[in-house]
Amino acid sequence: MGYDEVLPHLGGFGPYQRRIFFLVSLPAISCAFHKLAGVFLLAKPEHRCLMPFEVANASFLSDFPMNMTYPWDGINNKWSSCERLDANFTDSYFASGQPANATITCDRWVYDDRKYESSTVTEWDMVCSKSFLTATSDSLFMVGVLLGSIIFGHLSDKMGRKPIFFASLVIQVVFGVLAGIAPEYFTYTISRIMVGATTSGVFLVAYVLAMEMVGPKWRLFAGTVMMMFFSVGYMLTAAFAYFFPAWRDLQIALTLPGLLFLCYWWFIPESARWLLSKRRKAEAIATIEKAAKENKVTIPTEVLDNLIEPEKKEDADKPAPSLFDLFRYPNLRRKSLLIFFDWFVNSGTYYGLSWNTNNLGGNDLLNFVISGAVEIPAYVFLLFTLNRWGRKTILCGCMLVAGTMLLLTMAVPEAQNWLIILLAMLGKLAITASYGTIYIFSTEQFPTVIRNVGIGAASMFARFGGILAPYFNLLGDIWKPFPLIIFGAMAFAGGLLSLFLPETLGRTLPDTIADGERFGGKDDLPEGTAEEMVELNKNSTNGNVKKSTEEA
């Protein structure tokens, strides 16, 4: 008997679970700070070359003729910010009215500080030929997120949710402050990689804690609401950027709220489900009884006495599931590749649009807040539709809508910038809804015996999308609509390809490898002989695992 047998007596979402859920959801706000801070930390304000006759602290607004000092950038329809005319800037030169023909690459710049008092870009001159450094910094942050999900996910399964949650918090605060005082780009980027890794340790572990203590019918609600807390942190990041216009102050201000969560040590228990999985029955019962007392219920003694079943030797002897099992059979391989591509597209598009708000034009802070605000209706939409319309309908529909909205931006005249922003925000709303759907949809696609392995691999592909997103955004320096078109094309393609995935709503989910191969196939059974079907069942690592989706 396991924790699921306790929940009917304990209550699926009683006062105890609601209190713990609220507490572990708050750190999602802090994680959003760090994941979205790059928009302002790496902000690239308007800039121009510092002319030889100007002092180092010259004003961005110049009083000399632009046509006599800078070449015209025809692609971006403005005076060049990376080159200047190669001339002897004397009074007679300016009086001649004949600009020089030769150009020279700039080595110093003047920045417009009216929007941003300072950023890493202005401090370390990451413009023009060094623009790739900003994309690299965000990309490496996502590498940290990837490594953190692997490392902290493994450690939380081995050592427990609670110690890894707090260890991640401490590391996050230390390296968050270090990033704020970093003297140069290398130290800053390494610190941000560490912060990225700890967002996995904090948010994912908190997410697992929340999911492991609520009843099955509450998991869609709990998971979706926790993502709303992330969206609140998204919007609050803009408020911090408004009150802390200098990037060092902003980085430290976004980090210090993490100290508040250290007091959770006395309020957050270890997961009873994890304790039972480690056969620490006495500690699990103590946690359950505390929850029962707060929920004003009584757990029958026989339920507590039979919490852990004896470990069967034949279960221990079975080989562990492998990622290769997903590629060994044609239907499983096809579904897995489609799911991996959907994760790549959703993550890349979501973070790409989130980090691209400064390039849309108009008010950067307002664009950013709207980009975060549209996530709330997206999640509310999921709460009301996922269990009615089906996972496949929502996933395909939202990705196609996102792709259409983003692709339409290339037909909008540059003068109608408000329409570009509107289409981008509609695309962000739709991709947020599809990103929320892919978590649940993927969990129900993979067979039980290999579900964790499948979701782990899908999450890795998602991180690859996030790693590439900053470089897609960098293409906006060549042509402003470029990033939106790339994200739109990916989302549209993903929506079309998702039509080939089977619907899972109301279906009995696959347990074994054989079930997974059969699920969504052309026939009730996989193509092949009866002997091959027997072989599939042999390859299944556990044919008697209980049907569930909560393992992910």
DSSP annotation string for 488-526: HHHHHHHHHHGGGSPP-TTSPPP-SHHHHHHTTSSSSS-
The helix/strand/coil state of 97 is: coil
Annotate 225-272 with three-state secondary structure: HHHHHHHHHHHHHHHHHHHCCCHHHHHHHHHHHHHHHHHHHHCCCCCH
The tens-digit pLDDT sequence of the chain (552 residues) is 567 788 888 888 889 999 999 999 999 999 999 999 999 999 999 999 999 988 888 888 888 889 899 999 877 778 899 999 998 888 888 888 888 889 999 989 999 988 889 999 999 999 998 999 999 999 999 999 999 888 887 888 888 888 999 999 999 999 999 999 999 999 999 999 999 999 988 988 888 888 888 887 888 888 889 999 999 999 999 999 999 999 999 999 999 999 999 998 988 888 888 888 788 888 888 888 898 899 898 888 888 877 765 554 444 455 666 778 788 888 889 999 999 999 999 999 999 999 998 888 888 999 999 999 999 999 999 999 988 898 999 999 999 999 999 999 998 887 788 899 999 999 999 999 999 999 888 878 888 777 767 888 888 899 999 999 999 999 887 788 899 999 999 999 999 999 999 988 878 777 778 888 888 776 534 334 334 444 444 444 333 333 333 333
d(CA 370, CA 375): 9
- Six-digit token string for 154: 């493994």
Q: Residue 277 gets which letter from DSSP?
A: H
- Six-digit token string for 474: 């960098």
d(CA 245, CA 114): 10
Residues 6+ apart with CB under 8 A from 258: 27, 30, 169, 172, 173, 176, 202
Classify strands 83-85 and 103-105 as parallel, antiparallel or unpaired: antiparallel
Q: Which residues of 144-170 are buried (b: 16+ CB within 10 A; e: fewer)?
A: bbbbbbeebbebbeeebbbebbbbbbe
Architecture of domain 1-38+128-310: Up-down Bundle (1.20)
Compute the radius of gyration of the chain from its Cα atoms.
Answer: 27
Q: Which residues of 407-422 are buried (b: 16+ CB within 10 A; e: fewer)?
A: bbbeebeeeeeeebbe
Do residues 25 and 206 lie in contact, with contact meaning Cβ atoms separated by under 8 Å? yes
One-character DSSP codes across 348-374: HHHHHHHHTGGGSSS-HHHHHHHHHHT
Rounded to 10 degrees, the C-alpha dihedral 156/161/166/168 comes to 30
What pLDDT was estimated at residue 1? 57
N-term to C-term CA, the chain = 20
Q: Residue 57 gets which letter from DSSP?
A: T
Q: Residue 267 gets which letter from DSSP?
A: T
**Alpha-helical segments (H) within 68-204:** 91-96, 120-124, 132-159, 161-181, 185-199
d(CA 64, CA 247): 31
Annotate 400-436 with three-state secondary structure: HHHHHHHHHHHHCCCCCHHHHHHHHHHHHHHHHHHHH
Do residues 42 and 120 lie in contact, with contact meaning Cβ atoms separated by under 8 Å? yes
Q: pTM score, two decimals? A: 0.86
In degrees, rounded to 5, the angle at the alpha carbon of residue 76 between the alpha carbons of residues 73 and 77 is 70
Residues 6+ apart with CB under 8 A from 22: none
Q: What are phi and psi of 85, to 5 degrees?
A: -70, 145
Q: How many CB atoms lie within 10 A of CB 518?
A: 20
Do residues 360 and 412 lie in contact, with contact meaning Cβ atoms separated by under 8 Å? no
Q: What are phi and psi of 533, to 5 degrees?
A: -65, -40
Q: Name the CATH superfamily for 322-542.
A: MFS general substrate transporter like domains (1.20.1250.20)
Domain residue ranges of the chain, discontinuous segments joined by +: 1-38+128-310, 47-112, 322-542
